[in-house]
Structure 1
Amino acid sequence: MLSLSVLDQSVAVSGRTEDASIRETLTLARHCEALGYHRFWVSEHHSHPSIVGSAPEVLMAAIAATTQRIRVGSAGVMLPHYAALKVAEQFRVLEALAPGRIDLGVGRAPGSDMRTARLLRADPHQSAENFPVQVRELQAWVSGVDLPEGHPGHGVTANPMGPTTPELWMLGSSDYGAQLAAHYGLPYAFAYFITDGQGADEALALYRRLYRPSLRHPEPQAVICVWALAADTEAEAWHHFSGRERWKIDRNKGALGPLLSPAEVALRPYSAAEQLEAGKLRQAALVGSGPQVAAKLRALADTLKVEELVVITWTHDPVARRRSYELLAREFV
């Protein structure tokens, strides 16, 4: 049976302040738990005009405190910015607050421009080249396994300890993350929505072929994070998709900003080149009525041989976004 989860990015929208986007993420988490979704993940971005979720560990604490069942996770923590020990401590605290419900997804991307990335790091010379070592340290500290003798962290523990531990995930949008997840025996989440599907087949096949079983994960476990939008009618779905479509076209020209409403999009007619680009976006988009989107999601899951999809949805109207998750839950949950 195909399982559905949620990824939310706390997207800035025109006409509302950014703090409202954070509160809307909390509302959506409670809503999706009531609908029966399996996980609720939040992302990390910095100094971004469109995506304002900058501290997933803080947001996760609020979500965990106001939900009861749904797994809560990061997708992800951009590990090169931080000391692995501190991340392990943060997530062990989260695990103490919500035992058996915490996912720790990590990635090596900056989640920002490189200038901002340098400012986030206490050591400006720290780089993503150290990422594999950080992952190994984090894996040990999160699970409560001591690092080997000779390592500076030998004998150091990440508190609080408890009977359960966070589930560590590797995030990626290329072969690199797939290979690292396979090497360490970790679950792997491919960012299908970032690459528009490019490279998904290759990365997942590589992950499964190279997978080295671990104690916690004797078999490979892969999911894809995919953008989708459902509404009561196909026409209504395309109406709400217009803001995301305009955002992607603007982004490809280097212009980032809050998500516009359909009414605002209508005031900016497309050029001939933009019309061609919009047509390509619509061909690939998972947009439509609940049954239409569900059929596309099932076909995608079958093609990529995954048993769980993590769905991300942007709409200017939060009610339309909640409705999209409702319609998909009817089809799957």
Structure 2
Amino acid sequence: MTQKDLLRSTKFSVLDLVPVTQGSTHHDAIKNSLDLARNVEALGYERFWISEHHNMESIVSSATVVLLGYVAEGTSKIRVGSGGIMLPNHAPLIVAEQFGTLATLYPGRIDLGLGRAPGTDQLTAQALRRSRKESVQDFPNDISELRRYFSSENIGARVRAIPGEGLNIPMFLLGSSTFSAHLAGEKGLPYAFASHFAPAHLFDALRLYRENFRPSAQLEQPYSMACINVIAADTDKEADRLATSLYQFAMGIITNVRRPLPPPVDTMEGIWNEAQEAMIKNMMRYTFIGSKDSIAEKLTEFVANTGVQEVIAVSHIYDHGARLRSYEILGEVFNSAFSF
């Protein structure tokens, strides 16, 4: 398979954290999310996912289901879903009813991606979960419960998800370690790996997923996705400068200082030290920065090495117009509208 054929056969999608930028409002961030969804829909992207995060000044995706409805209403054909719903924060019945409602309103367009992390700090996790104590079997059991609510066979049960029952909403498992990979394989579900911030276990997770895959009613063959960071621009120099916003955002992660996404700077000198730079660049190993031609070869290599069927990209870019342009360039790369 040629480079062009490989990219053309790979689906490409968006993960949006609904970031707040310095000097903007929460309302601006939400409007920009819808505008981004409309733009990537026109560019042929497969799906638009929003992640669940809580108690973060830099991200306003806490009411994930509400935002999914907002985006689905404002678009017409792109798949809209969660990347993901942090299942330990919610009762499976509530998730089934919420996504059943979305799928009823927007049939054939809703995805349910599920994660087992809290999507926040431990104190906030306690506030979300109240007195619930989690065990290692809770996540697998909750997934089984969700599948039961979505099945037509649940019609005679005493507890039913209405709407939701019989809709067979596509479910995806998300992970940053090997636990969810093994589970996704056993349950015959698509698997998405968070390589945009947790690269260490990417290849082990994909291998375990494929080795343990068992066909299900939803999926006959393994289907894997990988999330990456992408900062694309018309020139390498411009992309490198835009990427400093991502680096500053990552500094907030490792120092536990979460502020709205800052504007780019000419240099990171004086902002990070050598140890912090090394830590961030290792954490952000699967980050593709540059012009169209610069990232095309690297992305082709990534897809070939991982064997994933889909790449889902997140772009921490301060200027909304520049972020739209980054996704436009990425779409051109996957559509192979260029010469290698």
TM-score by length of 2: 0.89
Distance in 1 (alpha carbons) for counterparts of 2:333 and 2:40: 14
Determine which of 10, 22, 43 is the counterpart of 2:18.
10
Aligned position for 2:314: 312
Verify the 8 A CA contact 2:170 2:218 in the aligned structure 1: no
Alignment of 1:1-333 (within 5 A): 1-121=9-129, 123-127=130-134, 129=136, 130-146=138-154, 154-161=157-164, 164-195=167-198, 197-263=199-265, 269-271=271-273, 273-274=275-276, 285-333=287-335
Spell out, residue by residue over 1:204-226, the C-alpha distance to the aligned partner (whole angstroms, 9 max, x if none). 10011011110121111111111
Verify the 8 A CA contact 1:233 1:289 in the aligned structure 2: yes
Which residues of structure 2 form unaligned runs of 5+?
A: 1-8, 336-340
- Structure 1 residues 330 and 207, CA, compared in 2 at 3 Å: closer, same or farther? same
Distance in 1 (alpha carbons) for counterparts of 2:165 and 2:86: 25
Stretch deviating more after TM superposition (9-18 or 98-107): 9-18
- Structure 1 residues 12 and 113, CA, compared in 2 at 3 Å: closer, same or farther? same
Distance in 1 (alpha carbons) for counterparts of 2:281 and 2:193: 25
Verify the 8 A CA contact 1:249 1:277 in the aligned structure 2: no
Verify the 8 A CA contact 2:13 2:312 in the aligned structure 1: yes
Residue-pair matches, total: 326
Spell out, residue by residue over 1:98-147, the C-alpha distance to the aligned partner (whole angstroms, 9 max, x if none). 111110001110001111111112x4124253111111001111233329
> Equivalent residue of 2:237, what SS?
helix
> Which residue identity is paired with 2:37?
A
> Equivalent residue of 1:286, what SS?
strand
Distance in 1 (alpha carbons) for counterparts of 2:281 and 2:116: 32
Tell me by how many angstroms 1:277 deviates: 5.4
Which residues of structure 1 form unaligned runs of 5+?
A: none
Tell me by how many angstroms 1:271 deviates: 4.0
Stretch deviating more after TM superposition (156-165 or 265-274): 265-274
> What's the Cα RMSD here?
2.2
> Equivalent residue of 2:325, what SS?
helix
Tell me by how many angstroms 1:165 deviates: 3.2
Verify the 8 A CA contact 2:154 2:165 in the aligned structure 1: no
Runs of 4+ in 1 over 3 A off after TM superposition: 161-165, 263-285
Distance in 2 (alpha carbons) for counterparts of 1:311 and 1:50: 18
Q: Could you tell me the percent identity over the aligned residues?
A: 38
Verify the 8 A CA contact 1:6 1:40 in the aligned structure 2: yes
TM-score by length of 1: 0.91
- Structure 1 residues 193 and 137, CA, compared in 2 at 3 Å: closer, same or farther? same
> Equivalent residue of 1:226, what SS?
strand
Spell out, residue by residue over 1:254-285, the C-alpha distance to the aligned partner (whole angstroms, 9 max, x if none). 32211110149779554454555577678763
> Equivalent residue of 1:225, what SS?
strand
